[in-house]
Amino acid sequence: MASTADIRNGLCIKFNHDIYKIIEFLHVKPGKGPAFVRTKLKSLTTGKVLDNTFSAGHKIDVVRVETHTFQYLYNEGNDYHFMNTESYEQITLNKDVLDAPQFLKEGTNVMVQINTETDMPLSVDMPVSIVLEVTYAEPGVKGNTATNATKPATVETGANVNVPLFINEGDKIKIDTATGDYLERVKE
């Protein structure tokens, strides 16, 4: 058993007969009354996010997890197939468990957290950013760059991303996987 002092981002806990991953937390010490911890929890079985407040010193049940590197192979409908880079063992995960499946490119390495008690995969941590090639983008109008104007573009995985007007088909761009935002153009 751990207490609220051990709360950190990415910690997996048992709460309300389910396993949750802590996405955000904030220790609050008001002027009056006891301290507490505000958390945002994501269910690892349903994907739902909920807000919860723990009082200071509250005991939490931590789930022991191991993190392994897996390589994304391919998907069949809502099933995504991954291979452990050390043991070459393959696992299949549902689309709901993944945070940003639209940015997964074949061969991408991801970190998979596995429950040590049941050997079940709990969550998939995508890389912070990913480089993808633009397959379709409307041509930009020359001289139309006085403001931060953007246009929709389609990348090689089929995802749509808003990009600056100077991005053309064939350009490689870096995308933030957490927000889906364009970060920069990548020159090779």
pLDDT single digits (tens) 11-58: 889 988 888 889 899 999 998 889 999 999 988 777 788 999 999 888
**What is the widest separation between alpha-carbon atoms in the chain?**
62
Give pLDDT < 70 ranges for the chain.
140-147
Per-residue confidence (pLDDT) for residue 144, from 0 to 100? 59
Beta-strand relationship, 2-3 and 59-62: antiparallel
Residue 55: burial class (beta carbons within 10 Å; 0-12, 13-18, 19+): exposed
**Which pLDDT value is given to residue 53?**
93
Instruction: Kindly report the pTM of this predicted structure.
Output: 0.73
Residues in Cβ contact with 143 at an 8 Å cutoff, skipping those fewer than 6 apart: none
Residue type, 64: R
Backbone conformation region of residue 5, classed left if phi is above 0, alpha if psi is from -120 to 50, else beta: alpha
pLDDT at 72: 92
pLDDT at residue 69 in the model: 92
Which amino acid is it at 154?
T
CA-based nearest residue to 146, from 165, 168, 172: 165
